[in-house]
Amino acid sequence: NSNTDFTLAIEDLTVSFDGFKAVDSLNFYLDQNELHVVIGPNGAGKTTVLDLICGKTKSTSGSIKFLNEELTKMSEHEIVRAGVGRKFQTPSIYENLTVLENLEISYPYGRTVAGSLMFKRSSEVLEKINQTASEIMLQDDLDTEAGLLSHGQKQWLEIGMLLIQDPQLLMLDEPVAGMSVKEREQTAELLNKISKGRSVLVIEHDMEFVERIAHKVTVLHQGKILAAGNMEEVQNDPKVIEVYLGH
């Protein structure tokens, strides 16, 4: 396997803030169909890695190859267009628009509210909206104002707003924070479905949820990989136990 077979190949990636290396010579690979969870203590560099991939933060050195395009040279918009979707913790849905309208303004034909609402709804767009709404379990809420959805449904809507743009890589920061037990269960199923034909990268603190969803786990610590593998391998790694329980 050469590194060009991976959806995402990060090599020797470093970012320094005033000499402090938040991410330090990171090597990380992600396959298609892979749901990969990054864990690690606060300040480990997890958010910074996602910021580097989506172009929000510029690297000091190293390479991020996504479907063989070099992301470190691209703007945030170009990275979105290349097929990278990122969901932040705070939802950015439009509360006074319906579910359907929220999905529609995210459809890649227009990237502003005013711009996309001027387009006529084609049957092709409607079909994509319906398909996405089913995927995120909101098929019966298309005409519901987004502000009236439950906390969990709002999170799913935001995932739908990314899915409708057909990303090949989806990145999610603590996707089940604040969700009910039932919503967490449904989100686990949703993420499992989403990972088919795509790559999914998740930051998560809730170990029970990590165990439920992760195909692979990487533990970050002080900007470096402490351990990686399946959940069981990582949980039993003495270095991981030391970092989580040792102090």
Q: Which residues of this protein are in contact with ligand ADP, per CB under 6 A? A: 17, 22, 40, 42-48
CA–CA dist 26, 218 (Å, integer): 11
Closest to ligand ADP by CB, 40 vs 83, is 40
CA–CA dist 71, 170 (Å, integer): 15
Least separation in angstroms between residue 20's CB and ligand ADP is: 7
Closest to ligand ADP by CB, 4 vs 42, is 42
Closest to ligand ADP by CB, 42 vs 96, is 42
Q: Is 95 left (phi over 0), alpha (psi -120 to 50) or beta?
A: alpha
CA–CA dist 234, 247 (Å, integer): 18
Closest to ligand ADP by CB, 17 vs 119, is 17
Least separation in angstroms between residue 173's CB and ligand ADP is: 8
- Alpha-carbon distances, residue 150 vs 56, 138, 144, 145, 183 (angstroms): 29, 11, 11, 11, 10
Least separation in angstroms between residue 44's CB and ligand ADP is: 4
Least separation in angstroms between residue 145's CB and ligand ADP is: 33
CA–CA dist 190, 202 (Å, integer): 13
